[in-house]
Structure 1
Amino acid sequence: METCMLPCSSEGGTAVIHWFQQSAGNRFVHSFYEGKDQLGLQNQRFRGRTSLFSDQISSGNASLLLTKVEVQDEGRYKCYTSTENGIKESFINLKMDAPVHEVDIQREGNTLTCCSEGIYPEPKLTWSTSPPSNVNSKCNTRMQETEQHLYNISSSVTPSDSETDLTFSCTISTRRSKRSVTWPSTSSKQSNSGATVAGVIAAIVITGVVAAVGFVLYKRRKSNTNKTHTDTELKVELNRSSATKHLTSPKQTPAALLQPCTEPS
């Protein structure tokens, strides 16, 4: 499970600190005043998962440490601080990402099946052929949502007799990652190739705060003229091993998530 730090600073001195999950109706995440943590109003989802850097609060560090990060933690957070030197509000947009790490394709009889597991956000799957052709075969794509709100996706296609000599490619993608696999595979073609796309300005790794594997922190901060408001964007890449360990009991998504296979234009 991942751990991340939501950055926030105060004007220093004796502080009142309130953290809220604004995107979920201003849930109380963590409060500190009168020199100690005040967790009476803390939302149950965050019990035992939050802490402040108590020895650094007087010097202006109001950052929140969030452990056992999961998809449901995604959203907009507000940090409110009040000291004798002034009031400050900071807003953090926390985004989760479980990229497409591996795509598997197998053949059983005349049917090709392509699949991948433990993905977030919701992926898309497309088939294509080389050389290009109109694929008239029936194709069924099925998606499952796990208890951790990650996605498993699989698709099957049965080539017609006239298509057996074609090379089939299956591509699974999200808005930030994409991987493809081909059948039949050859030594000149990587059976699993892909790239992760990240449209952010800067990447910052905070040593000693993030988990050892699979955590990436992206930060974008803007301040207004009086420097009392800041906006920060964080991206957490979930560890695939922890993301997929509960896939044995997935929750079936509604029928609306069953997709037809389409050939990319």
Structure 2
Amino acid sequence: MKICRNMIKMKDSVFLVMFLWILTVSRGDTEVSCVFMERCILPCSFQVADQINIRWHSITRDFNVHSFYYNQDQLRSQHQIYRDRTSLFNDQISTGNASLQLTGVTVQDEGIYQCYISTVNAPQISLTNLTVYAPVQDVNIQQVENRITCSSEGIYPQPELTWSTTPPSNINLLNSTTVQQNEQQLYSLSSSLILSPNDTDLLYSCTISTPTNRRRAAWRKLTPISGSTSETIITCAASNFSFSHLLWRFNHSQMILNQSRTDGRSTISEEWRQQVKDVSESGDITLQDLSSEQEGIYTCQLSNAEEMLISDTSVKISGGSSVNVGGIIVAVIAAVLVAAAVGLFLFCKKKKGQQENNTI
């Protein structure tokens, strides 16, 4: 028993010495954040000497990542998840650069990596803590009947979603939020809340955020307007919103105008080319020659790198369909009466000619 205790003490002492040695030669952790599916560089430098041996190892998963010795890459023992994804800057190794380039970064790549350098001199060790993030790219917000829905996907780490209103209101924003994670460990989430029937001009904002970035999407229903067949101005009501992109839609799906303030490009759909008269600097659109067929919901969508603002306006054309349909009915009746009168006139003239011939 005494011999066993001595062996245990000796083993603990050896472990302590090794641990202290690692702390001595290690240069501390380096924090590196990498974008999902992009390329990333894990830094490592050393004092140049002969017989260079470089080994990159995943401490978190205990995988061999990349090895270099005998003046060339040695990938026979490389773990398969790193196959064709790692490389060193071979032309810079002679200057002391042993940094690792990792391509197609995935969430599974997160963890601590060890760069071990051995030469004729003392070994050198550095540790790198790799974190992966997939930023919030797009936030979709839309209104269907009495419900407004906000959603986004392809995000890492798990994002946070919050609702707010402008101006602040006493409405209880009861929402239902679902969060899912796919096989790539990326998150998607969707949240919806029920609108109050008296919420005109109230701006609903949905913000999705992670530790690295956030994006906001906002929606509001503006006061309905009565348009004119000659000229109608529909406002975006966004005087304080700095935007780089403008999109106008009709009834949520039909594109009217698509405009980029960055490069000055503007596209008007063929169906609306005759109706679009002007677009103001604030995004307001002026339409002309509207008919009852253009009655419906007009959506203005303004966006920049961080935010998107959507405004829905219900437009009813003065005179509406009754004027047009009534005009068509009157025209048809008039045409029928004229035709009947002409027919009657020709019949009577022919009848009169036959009577005169019989008299002769």
User: TM-score, normalized by length of structure 2?
Assistant: 0.49
1:109 corresponds to which of 142, 145, 156: 145
Residue of structure 1 equivalent to 2:84: 48
Distance in structure 2 (CA, Å) of the matches to 1:71 and 1:191: 35
Residue of structure 1 equivalent to 2:215: 179
Does the alignment pair 1:15 with 2:52?
yes
Residue of structure 2 equivalent to 1:69: 105
Residue of structure 2 equivalent to 1:145: 181
Residue of structure 2 equivalent to 1:166: 202
Distance in structure 2 (CA, Å) of the matches to 1:15 and 1:115: 52
- By percentage of residues, which structure has more helix? 2
**How far apart are residue 117 of structure 1 and its match?**
2.0
Residue of structure 2 equivalent to 1:219: none
- 1:22 counterpart letter in structure 2: I
Cα distance change, pair 181–189 in 1 and its aligned pair in 2 (3 A): farther
Would you say the 8 A contact 1:137–1:160 is kept in 2?
Answer: no
SS at match of 1:86: coil
Gaps of 5+ in 2: 1-36, 221-235, 245-360
The residue correspondences of 1:208-219 to structure 2 (distance < 5 A) are none
Between 1 and 2, higher relative CO (CA 8 Å, sep ≥ 6) is seen in: 1
Would you say the 8 A contact 2:149–2:191 is kept in 1?
Answer: yes
Residue of structure 2 equivalent to 1:237: none
SS at match of 2:113: strand
- 1:141 counterpart letter in structure 2: T
Cα distance change, pair 56–176 in 1 and its aligned pair in 2 (3 A): closer
**How far apart are residue 165 of structure 1 and its match?**
5.1
Percent identity between the aligned chains?
53
- 2:172 counterpart letter in structure 1: N
Would you say the 8 A contact 1:182–1:191 is kept in 2?
Answer: no
Residue of structure 1 equivalent to 2:114: 78
Cα distance change, pair 130–55 in 1 and its aligned pair in 2 (3 A): closer
Would you say the 8 A contact 2:139–2:217 is kept in 1?
Answer: yes
Would you say the 8 A contact 2:163–2:173 is kept in 1?
Answer: no
**How far apart are residue 156 of structure 1 and its match?**
0.8
Cα distance change, pair 65–121 in 1 and its aligned pair in 2 (3 A): same
The residue correspondences of 1:113-124 to structure 2 (distance < 5 A) are 113-124=149-160
SS at match of 2:108: helix
Would you say the 8 A contact 1:103–1:192 is kept in 2?
Answer: no
2:239 corresponds to which of 166, 177, 188: 188
Does the alignment pair 1:136 with 2:177?
no
1:89 corresponds to which of 115, 125, 129: 125
SS at match of 1:171: strand
**How far apart are residue 15 of structure 1 and its match?**
0.8
Aligned length: 192
Cα distance change, pair 131–122 in 1 and its aligned pair in 2 (3 A): same
SS at match of 1:133: coil
Distance in structure 2 (CA, Å) of the matches to 1:158 and 1:189: 27
Distance in structure 1 (CA, Å) of the matches to 2:108 and 2:243: 30
Distance in structure 2 (CA, Å) of the matches to 1:144 and 1:152: 5
User: TM-score, normalized by length of structure 1?
Assistant: 0.65
**How far apart are residue 164 of structure 1 and its match?**
5.1
**How far apart are residue 118 of structure 1 and its match?**
1.7
Cα distance change, pair 165–186 in 1 and its aligned pair in 2 (3 A): closer
RMSD: 2.3
